[in-house]
Structure 1
Amino acid sequence: MTNAKILVVEDEAIVSKDLQYRLQKFGYTVSAIASSGEEAINKAIETSPDLVLMDIRLKGAMDGIEAAQEIYKRLDIPVVYLTAYADEKTLERAKITEPFGYILKPFKERELQTNIEIALTKHGLERQLKANKKWLDALLKSIGDGVIASNLQELITFMNPVAENLTGWKQEEACGRNLSEIFNIANTETHNSIESPIIQVLQDGTIVGLPAETILIAKNGAKIPIDDSAAPIKDDKDNVTGTVLVFRDITERKRAIEARQKQIEQEQLVLQWEEINQLKNDFLNLVSHELRSPLNNLKMMIQMIQISPDTESSHRYLELMETECDRELELINDLLDLQQLEISSYPVIKPDMLFLQQWLPWVIQPFQIRIKEHQQTLQINLPSNLPPLFSDGTSLERIIVELLNNACKYTPAGGEIILSVRYDSSEVPAKTIITTNNSAEIPATELPRIFEKFYRFPNADIWNQGGSGLGLPIVQKLVEQLQGNIQVESANGLTTFTLTLTDLI
């Protein structure tokens, strides 16, 4: 270290001058020369040298060892002893002061320079190490997590204040004890002891975390919910030399999570009540309109039969009554079917091989008369090479019937209904895609609610069509049971339902 300032402490003037000459020759600066211990201390305070060359035997009440000890304690300046005395007693006294060198007279120039350079380098490293240690201590004391370090024998070597507060152990009483004694952890629910994570860290040399539900049992018996991780401490050769455990009190976090969970549950409960109330209102509206209307019609027709002597009129009223009864029965059956589909966790599915080229024309045959009555046309498109579909025929028939019913209801006179089937083998599993198109457009704002229970278009009466709002919810539930999906699009005066199915396994 060139340009280093060196304080020479030597009570022989000739020797001190010689040292000054040699040091300047090496490129050092001699900050001062002292001949006694007291003077050495004062000169050191005054000039702040980088190193002190100290003769052990000095004139006066204070010798070199005592002076060196005081200088190092006050100023943290390294001291190199330069003396002619090498007896055991002197060496033992000198070692206590932790000198940075001990050179016996007579010495060689190279030996003197080497010892000075080593002392200056060593002191610089020690000073940096102390600064790093202070920085690390300050960091570990200031962080909000508890930190405990241990050696290979699982004995504690360090605890920060947070760890002291959480465990109830002070660092001075915990150091040297086994970590499991201080860091006593257990399961939150059972209170059964949990193995210390550092055991696995020492075995595997990897970072290990605690189970989710863990409590720390403090010295006073307090139980604190924590989470943590343990990591290995390794040297520059990647050898594990100890472990560091970082943990934190999560009491407030758990309270916040529990409070949020309760809030979510309450919000869900409110939503459920709102949904129940909405369903109740929808059902009451249904009952008041769809159930009461046929009953009122029945009552009126009974009265007409009672006052009308005309046999032909009575017969006509009986036919109308039968129609209203069928309407009432259909509505009740839909309600029961939908209820059964919603509560059934294990639906009864009876898969069968369906040859759609023959099966679909059979399903739509009953609609031909109705189509003609409504002055509509029904077109079916079936490819000739369509493979059989392994699915439940009863459920699929109900789906097709409901979709065609809706198409017939809302397609105006002169409109066209198209039923198409195609087979897509490019995906795994292969898909059978059934689409229905009809010449009626559903407003875009209504599409998201089209499969809701009891939902009817606000302007459904424009088409002079009633309906319970149960057909499409039943379709959706049946499609789910068949492990398929259904989508609806509506634009440019055309509504398309697309049903995608795969073979049931």
Structure 2
Amino acid sequence: MSNTKIVIVEDEAIVAKDLRNRLQKFGYMVSAVASSGQEAINKALEMCPDLVLMDIRLKGQMDGIEAAHEIHKHLDIPIIYLTAYADEKTLDRAKVTEPFGYLLKPFKERELQINIEIALTKHKLEKQLKTHQQWLSTLLNSISDGVISSDFEDLVTFMNPVAESLTGWKQEDACGRSSSEVFNIAHGETHESVESPFKKVLRGETMVSLPAETVLIAKNGAEIPIDDSAAPIKDDQDRITGAVLIFRDVTERKQAMEARQKQVEQEQLVEQLAEINQLKNEFLNLLSHELRSPLSNMKVMIQMLQLSITPEEGQRYLEMLEVECDREMALINDLLDLQRLETEARPLITPDVLLLEQLIPWVIEPFQVRVQKHQQTLQLNLPSNLPSLFSDGTSLERILAELLNNACKYTPPGGKIILNIYYDSSEIPPKTIITVRNSLEIPTAELSRIFDKFYRVPNADIWNQGGTGLGLSIVQKLVEQLQGIIQVESSEGWTTFRLILTDLVVTIS
């Protein structure tokens, strides 16, 4: 209180002196006493007091109200009017200058002191509030996001420059309008209207975010992809009094994401092309070897037949020539079969009722001589009363033949090949499960590629019979056509192919 400086403006010297004495008694500092409006202005500008006590009726051309108005133009200080006049006209003029008090003469000391203390406290709080408002305004106007606020009735109350730029609405035009009119949003793909986040917040939702692909439709019709979040504005009683929305233009971010996605797709394409190129090279190397080898052998045998040889030797060379021709035909047929399986939109299958008790022994019969020649054992475990299977017999025969051929090729002398068939009725639909096991373990790293085209397990062809690496790829395609599943596992010295089949479901179009 002792540092509070007050300027007294009073044209009656006795009254001015009395006021000075009272203020000093209260502990205030009286910086100056002025008797006219102009002198009051000069003293205020010179002293910069904390408060002015202003008499309204002053001698000269300028009264206290006019002097207060001029002081307010230059200084932010509270003014209390001291006057004997309380008429409406004078009161209305005084209100315009926003006084911090209006005391009618004569007044009591306590009234004067209370009015001064209230004026000083109120001015201090208002000054703090203005500082906070300026700080908040500067912050909201300088951030790169758009900010819009509304009152409890969903009417816009504030927009920062970024919000004005994005929406196309000026704050003075937008204030008082519905938030949906100013912040017009829709789904970017369907263009269906999206509910205003202001309305959701005002209904009581704590935090609201826009759905993906939301666009802001500006006043000029331009569409801007955005994301945002909205939150309620609450009073001291935790009651919602409005909502605030922060949003941003995500055009550049979307473009960056799309560019990155294209880059990833291009990188994937490059990888795929490199893989295809590698596959092509492997295929050409394999194909050139597998095609040229039988042809070279056949050429040598033809030359031998042209020489003077015995009938027994001629017959042996003819038999060898037939084997090489079969080998060449098998390669060409595998290529054609795989190409057909991969390109046909609808598989050419002929479903029928298959009696596995008759079909399986017939399929394995040609392999009996082969396993005896290689000192292998082929064991068939076929249960009696096995239910029939509605499937394509030709495809199933080819699958079993390829699996058995594969087992014979990679099973060492003295090894075993076991063919198991069993029926599982515990599931719906019931399943027929066929397994082909052979006593050779394949490294785990190779199993993931076992069904790849032209792939052969390195150094596993014990009998050096060669092959195209197409057999298991053909098996996989045929199993898919039969609506089945083919699995492979290898451990503890055994490799097992598991074929799971159900009755074919035929769609008639």
TM-score, structure 2 normalization: 0.74
Quick one: distance in 2 between partners of 1:307 and 1:385? 59
Residue in 2 that maps onto 1:104: 104
The alignment's C-alpha RMSD in Å is: 4.8
Quick one: distance in 1 between partners of 2:5 and 2:269? 82
Quick one: distance in 1 between partners of 2:475 and 2:202? 57
2:487 partner letter: I
Trace 1:133-282 onto structure 2 (pairs within 5 A): 133-149=133-149, 157-166=157-166, 171=171, 195=193, 198=196, 201=199, 205=203, 207=208, 209=210, 212=213, 214=215, 216=217, 219=220, 223=222, 225-229=224-228, 231=230, 234-236=233-235, 238-239=239-240, 241=242, 244=245, 246-248=247-249, 250=251, 252-282=252-282
Quick one: distance in 2 between partners of 1:82 and 1:310? 147
| Secondary structure in structure 1 of the residue aligned to 2:162 | helix
| Per-residue deviation, 1:411 | 1.7
| Per-residue deviation, 1:310 | 3.5
Quick one: distance in 2 between partners of 1:216 and 1:99? 47
Trace 1:279-294 onto structure 2 (pairs within 5 A): 279-294=279-294
1:81 partner letter: Y
Instruction: Say which is worse superposed, 266-275 or 194-203, in terms of deviation.
Output: 194-203
Quick one: distance in 1 between partners of 2:122 and 2:428? 72
Residue in 2 that maps onto 1:132: 132
Residue in 2 that maps onto 1:340: 340
| Per-residue deviation, 1:96 | 0.8
| Per-residue deviation, 1:78 | 3.2
Deviations along 1:256-281, one digit per CA (max 9) or x if unpaired, are 34544443454344344434433332
Residue in 1 that maps onto 2:303: 303
* Corresponding pairs, count: 492
Residue in 2 that maps onto 1:370: 370
| Per-residue deviation, 1:469 | 0.7
Instruction: Say which is worse superposed, 94-103 or 414-423, in terms of deviation.
Output: 414-423
Quick one: distance in 1 between partners of 2:104 and 2:320? 131
| Secondary structure in structure 2 of the residue aligned to 1:293 | helix
Quick one: distance in 2 between partners of 1:315 and 1:198? 92
Quick one: distance in 2 between partners of 1:410 and 1:89? 115
| Per-residue deviation, 1:395 | 4.9
Could you tell me whether the CA contact under 8 Å between 2:294 and 2:327 is conserved in 1? yes
| Per-residue deviation, 1:348 | 6.0
Quick one: distance in 1 between partners of 2:70 and 2:431? 92
Quick one: distance in 1 between partners of 2:342 and 2:200? 55
Cα distance change, pair 399–134 in 1 and its aligned pair in 2 (3 A)? farther
Cα distance change, pair 146–401 in 1 and its aligned pair in 2 (3 A)? same
Cα distance change, pair 498–305 in 1 and its aligned pair in 2 (3 A)? closer
Which ranges in structure 2 are unaligned for 5 or more consecutive residues? none
Quick one: distance in 1 between partners of 2:398 and 2:125? 86
Deviations along 1:309-366, one digit per CA (max 9) or x if unpaired, are 5333333333333333332232223222322332345546778888988876665454
Deviations along 1:7-63, one digit per CA (max 9) or x if unpaired, are 363532213423443x45xxxx55646445566666666776655554434566654
Residue in 1 that maps onto 2:19: 15
Residue in 1 that maps onto 2:438: 438
1:14 partner letter: D
Quick one: distance in 2 between partners of 1:430 and 1:136? 72
Deviations along 1:204-261, one digit per CA (max 9) or x if unpaired, are 7464637727475675x8x5643244747645365564664734161x3454345444
Cα distance change, pair 478–173 in 1 and its aligned pair in 2 (3 A)? same
Q: State percent identity of aligned pairs.
A: 60
Which ranges in structure 1 are unaligned for 5 or more consecutive residues? none
Could you tell me whether the CA contact under 8 Å between 1:230 and 1:245 is conserved in 2? yes
Quick one: distance in 1 between partners of 2:169 and 2:284? 68
| Secondary structure in structure 1 of the residue aligned to 2:85 | coil
1:325 is aligned to 2:325? yes
Quick one: distance in 1 between partners of 2:390 and 2:24? 106
Quick one: distance in 2 between partners of 1:391 and 1:68? 104
Residue in 1 that maps onto 2:495: 496
2:21 partner letter: K
